[in-house]
Amino acid sequence: MEYVILGLLLLKPRSSYDIKKILEETISLFYSASFGSINSALEKLIAKQAITVEEQIEAGRFKKIYSLTPVGKIAFEQWLASTIPQEKVKEPALTRLFFMGFLTPNERLRLVREHLTSLQIVHAQLNSLLREREQTNVDPHQQAIADFQWLTLEYGVAYYNFSINWYQQLLTKLEETSHE
């Protein structure tokens, strides 16, 4: 969480609300965070002198704006340039799939159909975001940053394409065996 916040603050100073909003609008496909976890990370970053906080009054309300320090920029750049760790697949549906043999054939069909529908909904949302990309104006100095950020969206679309195809094949197999 801390490095995600540092990266967002590298682009520009933000409030915790702004951080939460941009997380939801951009990387929620692969990263989610509550206000509690964001505020906890912000406090840790302040203690490490990686960011500073300035209180401002905006529209009659106090607002804390967080900014990156040189220490924070160095920490972010070191993290970003470090080797990407290999992680295990974290897909809750696989755990259900592993135990699905305990269900009746009808329950299996129902669950796979429901899951397939939810995958298709997210896939449609991601494709909608891809279409919005074409209408987004990016500062030429920020183009390389934006290009890599868009790649995460393309990854999400490809991931959901794979998952939908895989679960459609599974559904076909389950439907065939339920008629036997």
CB atoms within 10 A of CB 91: 11
Q: What is the pLDDT of residues 55-91, one digit of tens each?
A: 988 888 889 999 999 999 999 999 999 998 888 777 8
- Angstrom distances, CA of residue 59 to CA of 12, 54, 62, 63, 157: 20, 16, 9, 10, 39
Ranges of residues in the chain with a pLDDT under 70 are 28-31, 180
pLDDT given at position 159? 92
**Per-residue pLDDT reduced to its tens digit, 15-24:** 999 999 888 8
